[in-house]
Structure 1
Amino acid sequence: MKMLYQQMMAFFGVIAVTLVIVSILFIRSTTNTVWQNSFNQLEQYTDVLKDRAVDNDTYLINAQFIENAEEILAKQNVHFMIYDAANNARYPNIPGGAPQAIASKYWSQLKKGNTVALPELTTNPQNGRQQRMTIYYKPVFLSQKLLFVIAAFAPVENIQSSIQQTEKNLVVAFLLSLLAAIVISYFLARFQVNRINRLRQATHQVAEGDYDVQVQFDKKGHDEVAALADDFQDMVGSLRESQAEIHRQEERRRQFMADAAHEMRTPLTTINGLLEGLAYDAIPEESKGESIALMQKETKRLIRLVNENLDYEKIRTNQILLNKQTFNATEALHDIVSQLQQKAEASNDQLVLTAADEVPVFADHDRFVQVLFNITQNAIQFTQNGTITISAKAGYHQTELAVQDTGIGMSPDQVKNIWERYYKADPSRKNTKYGESGLGLAIVHQLVTRHGGTIKVESALNQGTTFFITFPDEETAPKQAPITHTK
């Protein structure tokens, strides 16, 4: 069964059950009200007769008054009887008739001063014939002595006709309500099913690879289906981002393979050419030593490239253990400046260290040196006739460092990609002697992240670049993660 009909049946069932219950309660309430009103009317009639139809002193019955009253109430078929204290009928005086006396079980109640209301009595008290009647008995006392009993009665048909007319009207209203319930149920079910169909159609689109689908419902009537649509939209957004990331990573993988092949092909081609020259004595004797030295240099370059790849993967997959301790960052920076001083002078650069004598840092000493060495060397690589400034200071629960150069700078797109392996902001300088593999900054980013620190870059073309690095202190640094092994 389709969901439209299921929803429609559900709504219709609820409405129908509600209508049935309301109808039953209404009929019962109406019936009780009609009977109660009938008894109230009979009681009012007996009150009038008590005051006007019987003389309490002489006990004489004003038969003319009663007859007039019966004529007035002829359309309602209301009649009256009056009994004396001996349960004898004093009115009406029916020639040859034998009005029935009040049954003893009711007479005992009347003698106690209680009124008696009898619904649907099957015998007419005037003539004793079988007839459904409603009778109301009212006793009249004087000084706690029963004087007489007034009886007012009417056929039940009057009441039944009123109840039947009410039931007939109610049935018509019930049928019309059921018809309206069907229409309302259809539109409510259709509304809900249409919302679900929109989600279903959107799901098919996503399954076919379309992640630009939009499913949003009215916020005013926010219910479970609307919440599901919001969650679905969030899921689609995540899938869209994941798909974009997959495409980006695939492009980076292809670029990585091409760059890795290019990086390795150059030294391998050089080594192969030199080996062929040596094998066929194509290299003069006086140049053989230089050729062997060049092969050693290219071999070391290949080894360095492989080691950097292995180092990056170990850091990325959490396979290295950081030996973190607190030491003086200024001393380590002095050593870095000393090691790179010659390279800076070769580019006519000036290295400047700005730091207090004591700047504590909590990190792995060797990895700290590796991070700052790579960043500083990278600054020297892209700066000619400029200044590289290294600064360090103690911050709030962290050590803050910066490496600023006055080099060629980078565009926003270049800044966004510098942490990728083999990415180089200046492709024309792929084979410079200081920036061979393009893995340095990727390793730097992974090492800083493993320390729980941050690294940010601010750069502009032809205006220089600044790297901002922070290392958290021992209190706020993350705990060392266990070494994991990957196959």
Structure 2
Amino acid sequence: MMKFKYFYQQMLAFFMVIMTMLIIMGFSFLQFSKNTTYNNTEEQLYGYAAALVSGDLQKSQLDNGQLILKNQEVTLTVFDNNDLMIYPETVKNYASGISKEDFKKLEKGQRISLKIRQTDFYGNDRQLAIVYLPFFTQDSNTFSGFVAVSSPISGIEATLTALRNNLFAAFLFSSLGAVILSLLFAKYQVNRINRLRSATHTVAEGNFDIHLKNNNKDEFDDLAGDFNLMAESLKASQKEIEHQENRRRQFMADVAHEMRTPLTTINGLLEGLEYDMIPSNQKKRSIELMHNETRRLIRLVNENLDYEKIRSNQIFLHKQHFNAKETLEMVVEQLSLKAESAKNVLKIDCPSDVEIYADYDRFVQIIVNLTQNAIQFTQEGEIKLIGRMEDGRSMIKVEDTGIGIDTKEVQNIWERYYKADVSRKNTVYGESGLGLAIVQQLVNLHGATISVDSILGKGTIFTLIFPFENKRK
């Protein structure tokens, strides 16, 4: 199929529209001019006839009038009430040849509008435009005859031909102007499309720093506005992709590092046991070390599996009412050794009547992750687990006196793979950078909220608010 460029399509469309308008206007003007010419001729001939009738149709007046109008090729003819020519005088009696209906109209005093005849009153071939005007006797006001004033059609046609020639010349010039205007209009529209096309190529090459001018005038400007929104969205997406890709690379490096250390330890101990290089009194300790490193690897894998399950909605919550203080005590007991290793003190501030409505296991996972996070960033400090009932909701706080979080980092701590401090890479807890991301996802699944307040160098407070559902009676 032959390719027809949009430029030529637009140019042809504009040209056709302009030419159609010109043709319609030209024909309309020609018709109007023709009607106007004939009407003017008719009124002019009526004027001559009326002047003759008002002068009582004296022969001398008729002769003078005919002499004056001869240059205009206008002929004056008078007929009596029997439709016989009485002026100019002729040997033969000539009739007007009008129809009976028109003759009756004249008898009633009605004038006959412009008629076109192919012959004159003498039978000669000659196209004439004729008007008829009746006249009456002054004393009795009886019909006495009528005046016929004629003019050759050739004069009218000459006027119309000159008008058509002028109009045709104007049409040719207008056609040339139409071509130029069509060219300009088409170029203007195509330039706007090429601007979008160029911008699209720029975006396709990966450059999203582009903005099209939008005057909000028509659909092209609307398209430019939509393009700008698309470019901004793509730019934001590209930044997010790069951001996540950097996190992924960092995560892979961190995971490789974290897995390499325990795997190297396990491999070294296994080789020592295999070649009997470890003393008998150290073999039990070696096995304990391998167990610890294995659990560390399992924890690393499980955190990633948990996060993916939560994101893909494969986690189903089994909510129930349970005592908050008893649960917090169990968490403290579970993490007490880890807290002691960092010389931290774990405390509980929770009335015995505080209840939580949540999935028990997932709630424990949330508190354990937050508490471990507090232990990790607190040395020789205090970590407090606080529980309250406020406004029909359960509030849990994990408060520490650790190193705190920089204000610039607070919004990022919930992101997957994020580590606010390089030192976290070498700690035994939170190796994956997924702990807080998992916490946030689990909190959201519960329809709960979590917020963080932190002062750098003084400590951090994580606040959880769980909606509370009354027990069924």
TM-score greater than 0.5 by the shorter chain? yes
CA apart distance, 1:6: 1.8
Partner of 1:209: 206
Q: 1:257 aligns with which of 231, 252, 255?
A: 252
Q: Which amino acid aligns with 1:244?
A: K
Partner of 2:403: 408
- Pick closer, same or farther for the CA change 1:145–1:103 going to 2, 3 Å: same
CA apart distance, 1:37: 1.5
Are 1:293 and 2:296 an aligned pair?
Answer: no
- Matches of 1:302 and 1:108, distance apart in 2: 123
- Matches of 1:402 and 1:318, distance apart in 2: 27
- Matches of 1:414 and 1:406, distance apart in 2: 18
Are 1:73 and 2:76 an aligned pair?
Answer: no
Are 1:162 and 2:159 an aligned pair?
Answer: yes
- Pick closer, same or farther for the CA change 1:139–1:333 going to 2, 3 Å: farther
- Pick closer, same or farther for the CA change 1:66–1:205 going to 2, 3 Å: same
Would you say how many aligned residue pairs link Structure 1 and Structure 2?
A: 463
CA apart distance, 1:169: 1.7
Q: 2:181 aligns with which of 181, 184, 198?
A: 184
Partner of 1:7: 10
Q: Does the CA-based 8 Å contact 2:247-2:418 persist in structure 1? A: no
Are 1:369 and 2:364 an aligned pair?
Answer: yes
CA apart distance, 1:193: 1.1
Partner of 2:32: 29
Partner of 1:306: 301
Are 1:129 and 2:91 an aligned pair?
Answer: no
- Pick closer, same or farther for the CA change 1:284–1:18 going to 2, 3 Å: same
Are 1:442 and 2:437 an aligned pair?
Answer: yes
Greater shift, 155-164 or 381-390, is seen at 381-390
Are 1:247 and 2:245 an aligned pair?
Answer: no
- Pick closer, same or farther for the CA change 1:8–1:266 going to 2, 3 Å: same
Are 1:42 and 2:45 an aligned pair?
Answer: yes
- Matches of 1:157 and 1:130, distance apart in 2: 13
Are 1:138 and 2:133 an aligned pair?
Answer: yes
- Matches of 1:63 and 1:110, distance apart in 2: 22
- Pick closer, same or farther for the CA change 1:150–1:290 going to 2, 3 Å: same
- Matches of 1:39 and 1:349, distance apart in 2: 120
Amino-acid identity (%): 49
Q: Does the CA-based 8 Å contact 2:328-2:348 persist in structure 1? A: no
Greater shift, 73-82 or 308-317, is seen at 73-82
- Pick closer, same or farther for the CA change 1:153–1:264 going to 2, 3 Å: same
- Matches of 1:62 and 1:398, distance apart in 2: 122
- Matches of 2:173 and 2:466, distance apart in 1: 78
CA apart distance, 1:399: 5.6
- Pick closer, same or farther for the CA change 1:421–1:218 going to 2, 3 Å: closer
- Matches of 1:397 and 1:186, distance apart in 2: 74
- Matches of 2:433 and 2:282, distance apart in 1: 31
- Matches of 1:159 and 1:396, distance apart in 2: 101
Question: Residues 437-487 of structure 1: CA distance to partner in whole angstroms, max 9, x if unpaired?
Answer: 433212112212333444444445324334344445679xxxxxxxxxxxx
- Matches of 1:262 and 1:147, distance apart in 2: 130
- Pick closer, same or farther for the CA change 1:359–1:50 going to 2, 3 Å: farther
SS at match of 2:54: helix
Q: Does the CA-based 8 Å contact 2:216-2:222 persist in structure 1? A: no
- Pick closer, same or farther for the CA change 1:316–1:103 going to 2, 3 Å: closer
Are 1:193 and 2:196 an aligned pair?
Answer: no
- Matches of 2:469 and 2:26, distance apart in 1: 77
Unaligned runs of 5+ in 1: 55-60, 476-487
Partner of 2:420: 425
Q: Does the CA-based 8 Å contact 2:366-2:439 persist in structure 1? A: yes
Q: Which amino acid aligns with 2:374?
A: A
Q: Which amino acid aligns with 2:226?
A: D
Q: Which amino acid aligns with 1:172?
A: A
SS at match of 2:349: strand
Partner of 2:111: 115
Are 1:103 and 2:98 an aligned pair?
Answer: yes
Query: What is the TM-score when the length of structure 1 is the normalising length?
Result: 0.84
Question: Residues 74-99 of structure 1: CA distance to partner in whole angstroms, max 9, x if unpaired?
Answer: 443323222221112222224x4654
Partner of 2:218: 222
CA apart distance, 1:260: 1.3
CA apart distance, 1:293: 2.1
- Matches of 1:85 and 1:74, distance apart in 2: 26
Q: Which amino acid aligns with 1:409?
A: G
SS at match of 1:135: strand
- Pick closer, same or farther for the CA change 1:323–1:140 going to 2, 3 Å: farther
CA apart distance, 1:279: 2.9
- Matches of 1:33 and 1:335, distance apart in 2: 109
CA apart distance, 1:24: 0.5
- Pick closer, same or farther for the CA change 1:176–1:311 going to 2, 3 Å: same
Report 1:76-87 matches (<5 A).
Answer: 76-87=72-83
RMSD between aligned residues: 3.2
Q: Which amino acid aligns with 2:207?
A: D
Q: Which amino acid aligns with 1:370?
A: Q
Question: Residues 163-220 of structure 1: CA distance to partner in whole angstroms, max 9, x if unpaired?
Answer: 1222122112111111111111001111111121222222333333333333x24415
- Matches of 1:396 and 1:14, distance apart in 2: 73
- Matches of 2:69 and 2:326, distance apart in 1: 122
- Matches of 1:356 and 1:180, distance apart in 2: 93
CA apart distance, 1:16: 0.7
Question: Residues 347-370 of structure 1: CA distance to partner in whole angstroms, max 9, x if unpaired?
Answer: 344645367944664x32321222
Report 1:293-372 matches (<5 A).
Answer: 293-325=288-320, 332-333=327-328, 335-336=330-331, 339-340=334-335, 344=339, 347-349=343-345, 351=347, 353=349, 357-358=353-354, 361=357, 363-372=358-367
Q: Which amino acid aligns with 2:403?
A: I
CA apart distance, 1:230: 2.7
CA apart distance, 1:264: 1.6
Partner of 1:483: none
Q: Which amino acid aligns with 1:465?
A: T
Q: Does the CA-based 8 Å contact 2:248-2:417 persist in structure 1? A: no
- Pick closer, same or farther for the CA change 1:124–1:391 going to 2, 3 Å: farther
SS at match of 2:313: coil
Q: Which amino acid aligns with 1:117?
A: S
Q: Does the CA-based 8 Å contact 2:319-2:359 persist in structure 1? A: yes
Q: Does the CA-based 8 Å contact 2:83-2:96 persist in structure 1? A: yes
- Matches of 1:470 and 1:395, distance apart in 2: 9
- Matches of 1:456 and 1:131, distance apart in 2: 108
- Matches of 2:161 and 2:314, distance apart in 1: 90
